[in-house]
Amino acid sequence: MPANRFAGVCVDLHADLPPQEAATLAADADRFLAALSSRLGARPPSPTVYVFDSDWDLWLYLRRHCPEFSCRAGACFQAGDGRLIVAVRSVDDGRPAPARLRHELTHAVIGSNFAEPMPWLDEGLAQVFESGCPPICDQSRMAALRALPQLDRRVARLAGVSRNEDLDDNDHVVAWGLAWFLLDGAAQGRAGIAACLEPPAIGEGASERFSRCLGASPAEMGRRLADFVATAR
Ligand SMILES: [Zn+2]
């Protein structure tokens, strides 16, 4: 376990980093939580954040405390004692950890404020806000999205994915694209996000909920997303 603790305003950071680096990371995380929470109309959570130096240490920790996420590069979950935990590696696939940390902190904001977020939106927003808040467009994800055929069918599939289902690589790209489209390109997109974060109506199916919140069926949103992607820079 990381031995050094740095208490921020919201985050309680545990990381074996030089003090200055840890203080900067904690301050960045606090700023990010405040900015994102305000943007989503949410209250900033106060997560305990563990930054692990090695894949092995992260794996051991997750296997013990959150086995269903043990193969991931980062995780956000509620511990048995009620604490909201964020656990990440200090380096993620050669990229610096702040992006992964922002990803998991986004899940922390959504998970601690909204009871039943749509799974694609939870993951899509986490990917979008990896770049910071306000976010910038991830050109490699945009290129991957542009290369995917049949976005209408893919969005229709994604809209029906349930909470415990794992998303595949293409699902991740489409989830990012939909979230980015709603933030950046779609008319009423931000109001749509706010509606999608509210709980479903009683007895409402996933596709029905999607259509009600966004004012278009999943397939129609897929066609709009394809148009957006074709013209987006
Ligand atoms: Zn995620």
**What is the number of structural domains in the chain?**
2
Domain's final residue, options 49, 79, 113: 113
Tell me, in angstroms, the distance from the centre of ligand 1 to residue 90's CA.
Answer: 16
Provide the residue type at 121 as one letter.
L
Tell me, in angstroms, the distance from the centre of ligand 1 to residue 197's CA.
Answer: 16
Give the per-residue pLDDT at 49: 97
Domain's final residue, options 54, 78, 113: 113
What crossing angle do the helices spanning 169-184 and 139-146 adopt, rounded to 10°? 110
Query: What CATH number is given to the structural domain containing 89?
Result: 3.40.30.160
Give the per-residue pLDDT at 43: 97
Q: Which two tokens stand for residue 88?
A: 């990440």
Indicate whether 107 and 136 sit together in one domain.
Answer: no
Give the per-residue pLDDT at 90: 83
Give the per-residue pLDDT at 96: 53
Per-position pLDDT tens, the chain of length 233: 898 999 999 999 999 888 888 899 999 999 999 999 999 999 999 999 999 988 899 999 999 999 998 888 899 999 999 999 999 998 766 555 789 999 999 999 999 999 999 999 999 999 999 999 999 999 999 999 999 999 999 999 999 998 778 889 999 999 999 999 999 987 888 999 999 999 999 999 999 999 999 999 999 999 999 999 999 87
* Coil, helix or strand at residue 48: strand
Q: Which residues contact 221 (CB under 8 A, 6 or more apart)?
A: 155, 159, 178, 210, 214
Tell me, in angstroms, the distance from the centre of ligand 1 to residue 103's CA.
Answer: 6
- Identify the DSSP state of 2: -
- Domain with 39, as residue range(s), is 5-113
Tell me, in angstroms, the distance from the centre of ligand 1 to residue 100's CA.
Answer: 9
Please give the full DSSP string across 91-104, using - where no structure is assigned: EETTEEHHHHHHHH
The label of the residue with tokens 């740095």 reads: 6
CA distance 128 to 148: 18
Tell me, in angstroms, the distance from the centre of ligand 1 to residue 110's CA.
Answer: 11
Residue 128's closest CA among 85, 207, 181? Answer: 181
Indicate whether 126 and 200 sit together in one domain.
Answer: yes
Indicate whether 104 and 135 sit together in one domain.
Answer: no
Domain's final residue, options 113, 131, 162: 113
Whether 161 contacts 118, CB under 8 Å: no
* Coil, helix or strand at residue 23: helix
Query: What is the DSSP pairing of strand 84-89 with strand 12-15?
Result: unpaired
Please give the full DSSP string across 75-91, using - where no structure is assigned: EEEE-TTS-EEEEEESE
Indicate whether 58 and 13 sit together in one domain.
Answer: yes
Residues β-bridged to residue 88: 51, 74
If 0-12 CB within 10 Å is exposed, 13-18 middle and 19+ buried, where does residue 93 land?
exposed
Indicate whether 101 and 133 sit together in one domain.
Answer: no
In the chain, % helix, strand, coil (3-state, to 5) comes to: 55, 10, 30
CA distance 175 to 155: 8
Ion ligand 1 neighbours, Cβ < 5 Å: 123, 126
